[in-house]
Structure 1
Amino acid sequence: MAATAELSQYDRAKSAAERAAIDASCRGPVLFFASAAVLWLLVGSLLALVASVKLHSPYFLTGTAELTFGRARMAHLQAVALGWATLASMAACLWQMCRLSRAELPYPKLLYLAGALWNVGVCIAVFGVLLGAGQSVEWLDAPPAAAPFFVTGLGIVSAWVVAVFRRRREAHVYVTQWYIFGAVFWFPWLYLVAQFVIFWMPVTGVVQPIVNWWFGHNVLGLWFTPIAVGTAYYLIPKIIGRPVHSYYLSIIGFWSLALFYAWAGMHHLIGGPIPAWLATASTVGSMMMIIPVLAVAINHHMTMLGHFHRLRYSPALRFTVFGAISYTLVSFQGSLMSLKWYSETAHFTHYIVAHAHFGAYAFVTMILFGLFYYMVPRLTGREWVSSRLIRVHFWCTSIGITAYVVGLSVGGWWQGVMMNNPDVPFARIVLYTQPHLLGRSLAGALLTVGHLAFAVSFAANVGGWGQRRSSGPTLFAQPAGQKA
């Protein structure tokens, strides 16, 4: 027994040393991507507030052409989608792939170049849009000059993720690696095809909006979604100290996502001048997405079963579980929205805005927040400086996004009902939506407060102001037995 205990202690020490070496190899590049992501989150939050206020107070900042609603809203999308969410996703891919492959990051200095190129592209996108050089293509609003920076930066990151996977020392391929590997293959393909077909050698007529929504919808479903779902598969078992409920169920979820999601984007064009078979195929793909969503929901719930009390202890788990639940709800909502009778009311209303934020924020961003709270202390070796700031961040963002989604969903639905009634004057509809738009701004302000608290915590941790971290739990009391 003594020999076994000594061997076990030796194995734990060896494993801890291995993880420390892996973290040291990717510390610089991952924190570089993460720091830039947090900065763009703040920029995007300010632009979002400007755009939101203008919807119910149109004379706000009227003397500045660069801050008109159209430009501010487009720039906000560039800052949060390409700046915050994509850079944070790249950091997530690199760190988790290294950890799960038990391999150190090769040639990490070249990733600084990738991060710098991507940030130059985001600067061109955000400030180019504000200066009037944006493109009138949803999700591809950036000026053409930004594309080479995005392509090069994304290509380097994708190649490095593949390189780490090929150098893996762990024979078993965990489900998170499947999702990351899929994401770094799908996103470059999506972006290159969309740039080529829409800008470089543009197709004509109705094919352009088809390609546009094929790209726009799949950015969420085949880039952000795999990374966020894969991150939840990593964090939940890791934090609570038990294996995922069913590995085979997780693989079913992955392959059904890969098979069905690419068909789903065309339901945004229902009622438009597109072939009827294309809209119908999109509806079928959207309804079939119930399969991977149920697979993920069952797996996450069964893994957490009996451990929900640990939400009191772990800030990373709080954000992750909030995001995982949101994924289930927003996915079912998306399937409903693909139905023609449902779309007749919801389409062209603020309901669509609520749905977009439900997916991109309540699901993706909340899980990325959870990853940061778990990952950053392990990279810096320091504790978070304030539990109060983390609580402010969680409650402001969770309450803020809930109020945002519920308020705009209710207001948008009744907006659609009234728009379909020829007896209701349009001016009355505008007046009806004003309180909901004011609520949107208040919810956005609450989200911004949470982002500021998060940014302060992050800067303090990276700046070395926190206490030195020991093995095990970091800030809140957690059950024993968790690996560092």
Structure 2
Amino acid sequence: MAVIAAPDPRQYDRAKSAAERAAIDASCRGPVLFFASSAVLWLVIGSMLALIASIKLHSPYFLTGTAELTFGRARMAHLQSVGIGWASLASVTACLWLMCRLSRAELIYPKMLYLAGALWNVGVFFAVFGILFGDGQSVEWLDAPPYAPPFFVAALGLVSAWTVATFRRRRELHVYVTQWYILGAVFWFPWLYLVAQFIIFWVPVAGVVQPIVNWWFGHNVLGLWFTPVAVGTAYYLIPKIIGRPVHSYYLSIIGFWALALFYSWAGMHHLIGGPIPAWLATASTVGSMMMFIPVIAVAINHHMTMLGHFHRLRYSPALRFTVFGSIAYTMASFQGSLMALKGVSETAHFTHYIVAHAHLGAYAFVTMIFFGLFYYMVPRLTGREWASSTLIRIHFWGTAVGITTYFVALSIGGWWQGRMLNNPDVPFAKIVLYLQPHLFARSIAGVLLTTGHIAFAISFVMNLSGWGKQRSGGPTFFVEPATRKA
């Protein structure tokens, strides 16, 4: 008599979960890929503008016949292209896809998000090209002409509403730490942007309050918009790729609430020595030093989660970028806290050291983690693997070596620049000559970064165009040798 084996309930649950994930990805595929494609486009444009601005620092006669590409305009347009364009659109991409995945909820009314994406892109277009044609405003990170912000505000409102609506419709009762970070980000950034626009431009306040608000906004865009989305993304990707849960859920919540409590005070240390109330600079310094708490919490959690799995960095491009970004987060945050000390600030102020620090946070941390997200997410949305491992390697090594060169060159050059500026016996012309090789190294780093970005853009377009084999589950593109033999 034949014995019929009972069906394995675990296989049924896995099949059911896979079908549910496929339905969720299908519901958000269009809007998410639209935001992702827009982000990649503005990344490439911003890279070109950054390279032009960098070359002009050591070769001032480069493109001198074009008023639209002077250093001031090119740099302001670059900041808008990579800040409001690439990094913000990549953040929106992460918010929408991760919230749908973790909430186990399909995206509703996706056409409204197409509208949000169109408004956002129109706003970035007006910001970048308006600046190039002379309509920029002299407020860092808020350089966009006055006709661009309304498009951002409308798009941001739609994105925030849809993110919260997805969370409210969740079928998963457990709230993951990534969702905490995303919900915080979609609340904080609209508030930051609206308050800054209102106080600086729409109903402008007088005097020293404007630079105070400017630095409050500029610093908190990184800390309360890009940082929570990027950290939340890392909290999702690392456990997913290596197949183990986060080391400590409670430690991750401590990190979130410490970030929410302390980071909003930071930023004023950039105005130490300026005509601002002493208590404000002191409170900012204290808030910056307290940032050691969330950073250490995140660093311990990520390291303990990865422990015993670092060998997987050789096989997973998504993990490589994510771990690189997570390490850079720790470094950038520690450096930022130390820069709030008056003894450090008096040397680092008004130098390329500040530029190096900004790129360690905004690029080595935030952008590298978003690259990891794209390498993990896009194949799951298109159903196709990446077509070329060579392009992925060019992307990783171009960006990793590029940003390392950038940071080291400008950190060393900027620190000695500050030392010489504080020495009245050093002629200013000598300082300019000293910086030349460091600025040239910056341009070399820019070439490496741009090369990596172009390789990434080509891979991305190839995947959307149907290149690459059909995805069959498992790791993305690079797989373990044992798995490859199976």
TM-score in same-fold range (> 0.5): yes
Looking at structure 2, the residues matched to 290 and 164 of structure 1 have their Cα atoms a distance apart, in angstroms, of 33
Give the structure 2 partner of residue 224 of structure 1. Answer: 226
2:325 is aligned to 323
- State the alpha-carbon separation in 1 of the partners of residues 304 and 475 from structure 2: 23
Q: 1:140 aligned to 2:167?
A: no
- CA separation in 2, counterparts of 1:183 and 1:473? 29
1:75-474 alignment to 2 at 5 Å?
75-474=77-476
Specify the SS of the correspondent of 2:462.
helix
2:5 and 2:100 map into 1 onto residues whose CA distance is 32
Alpha-carbon distance between aligned partners in 2 of 1:319 and 1:421, rounded to the nearest angstrom: 41
1:243-297, CA deviations, whole angstroms, 9 ceiling, x for partnerless residues? 0000000000000000000000101111110000000000000000000000000
- Kindly provide the amino acid, as one letter, of the partner of residue 416 in structure 2: W
Q: Distance in 2 between matches of 1:304 and 1:400?
A: 25
Q: Is the 8 A contact 2:80 2:127 kept in 1?
A: yes
- How many percent of aligned residue pairs carry the same amino acid? 82
Decide whether aligned partners of structure 1 residues 282 and 105 sit closer, same or farther in structure 2, where only a CA change above 3 A counts.
same
2:417–2:435 CA contact under 8 A, matched in 1 = yes
Task: Tell me what 1:12 maps to.
Answer: 14
Shift of the 417–162 alpha-carbon distance from structure 1 to 2, 3 Å rule, reads same
- The superposition leaves residues 114-156 of structure 1 with CA deviations (integer Å, 9 ceiling, x where unpaired) of 0000000000000000011001001100001011100000000
Flag structure 2 segments of 5+ consecutive residues without an equivalent: none
Show structure 1 runs of 5+ residues with no match. Answer: none
Give 1:109 shift: 1.1
The CA distance in 2 between the partners of 1:242 and 1:130, in whole Å, is 48
User: CA separation of 1:35/1:426 partners in 2, compared to 1, >3 Å: closer, same or farther?
Assistant: same
8 Å CA contact 1:472–1:480 kept in 2: the answer is no
Aligned mates of 1:6, 1:357 — CA distance in 2 = 51
Q: Which amino acid aligns with 2:82?
A: V
How many angstroms apart in 2 are the aligned matches of 1:478 and 1:159?
40
Q: Kindly provide the amino acid, as one letter, of the partner of residue 419 in structure 2.
A: V
Distance in 2, matches of 1:422 and 1:36, equals 49
- Which whole-Å deviations, capped at 9, do the CAs of 1:214-238 have from their partners, x for residues lacking one? 1000000000000000000000000
Give the SS at the match of 2:199. helix
What secondary structure, in the 3-state scheme, does the structure 1 residue paired with 2:267 have?
helix
What is aligned with 2:36? 34
TM-score of the aligned structures, taking structure 1 as reference length: 0.98
> Aligned equivalents of 1:56 and 1:472: distance in 2?
47
For residues 48-85 of structure 1, what are the alpha-carbon distances to aligned partners after superposition, in whole Å with 9 as ceiling and x for unaligned?
Answer: 00000000000001111100000000000000001100
* Secondary structure, aligned partner of 2:461: helix
1:477 Cα deviation after fit: 0.9
Partner amino acid, structure 2, of 1:51: A
1:474 Cα deviation after fit: 2.9
Contact 1:97/1:177, CA 8 A, preserved across alignment: yes
Conserved 8 A contact 1:19-1:99: yes
Q: What displacement does 1:4 show?
A: 7.3
Deviation (angstroms), 1:373: 0.1
| SS of residue matched to 2:286 | helix
Q: Provide closer, same or farther for how the CA distance between residues 120 and 269 of structure 1 changes in structure 2, counting only shifts above 3 A.
A: same
Alignment RMSD, CA only?
1.2
